[in-house]
Amino acid sequence: MGHKMKLQHFAENLRFPNFFQPDYPELQKGFALKGKWKRDFFGNDHDLIVELGCGKGEYTVGLAEKYPGKNFIGVDIKGARMWKGAKAAVDNKMDNVAFLRTRVELISYCFDVDEINEIWITFPDPQPRPKQVRKRLTSPRFLKMYRELMQSGGLLHIKTDNRPFFEYSAGVLSELGFEVLFQTTDLYQSQWQGEAKSFTTFYEKKFLEVGMPINYLKAKMVGNDRVKESENNSFFKRVYDVVRQIPHGRVTSYGAIAAFLGSKGSARMVGWAMNASHNSPMPVPAHRVLNRNGVLTGKHHFGSSELMQQLLENEGIEVKADQVVDLQKYFWDPAKELKR
């Protein structure tokens, strides 16, 4: 797209009644529609679905056409791309669509707690280099933000052509309060009949043309309780007692600890305990606890995003792309190693 055309689209965006692009001072002062999208813009109390990194808005508009009884907002920072979706919605007189030009990092300024019912993440930048992991839209810092903004039981959809990003996302989700309901590494060869097959984005069409399989995942947020360490002190203490017994050069998983403690469904709480362990008066080797796939999902709770990997490598454990290589070689199962 030429520079002149971009400027034309930017100017037209300003005239669209469904297009919002608040600047940072406005966000800091207080965005007028935060917590009020349904009432003040859409004029109803219908479910609110948000597409993050919406690009040209194909999914936002497509879903809005299919579900006129729901509200849809496309979020992206590329205004010239979003123009296409915004214009299509205006031309077709769709009153259940809006577009918000801002960075995903700032959406907590734009939406209130429990305001969003559903989130779509379609073909985001996979941020493949190790130092870019924190920028992934499914990294812990983003998922924690989504949890705050989503209602309990809210749905999260992920579509991507990038297999490593997909596997990373699936691993992180399970540790941050999301239950994976369905996942496939080849959507169009699967039996899935949901909305994920209904629309294709500009980039998705290109991937399909060259025969690249599309990965898809649907997850549900399980509860939205903000657990404090003091409320779970007994459980946290039991977790720490187990973790302190993991031998040098060995690792275990959140789920394995939960199962050993007789609470198989509490893997997420084990993760919370690890996140809080850095404030424990007695050392806890939290770097030895991973998700079930060996992914370093807790890395951002250390002093730096590289420290967890460094600690593992110092113990002779091989790590590549934030995942322990040959997990079974190093795996330590407390159910087999400890007597209860």
**Would you please indicate which residues are annotated as catalytic (active-site) residues?**
125
Q: Distance between CA 242 and CA 245 in Å, rounded?
A: 5
- Is residue 120 within 8 A of residue 55, CB to CB? The reply is no
Report the candidate in 20, 16, 52, 55 with the shortest Cα–Cα distance to residue 36.
Answer: 20
Q: Distance between CA 172 and CA 164 in Å, rounded?
A: 12
Q: Distance between CA 274 and CA 232 in Å, rounded?
A: 12
Q: Cα-atom radius of gyration of the chain, to the nearest Å?
A: 22
- Is residue 159 within 8 A of residue 218, CB to CB? The reply is no
Please report how the helices 163-175 and 267-276 are oriented relative to each other, as an axis angle in degrees rounded to 10: 90
Looking at 232-327, which runs of residues are DSSP E strands?
A: 252-253, 289-290, 319-320, 323-324
Q: Distance between CA 119 and CA 24 in Å, rounded?
A: 23
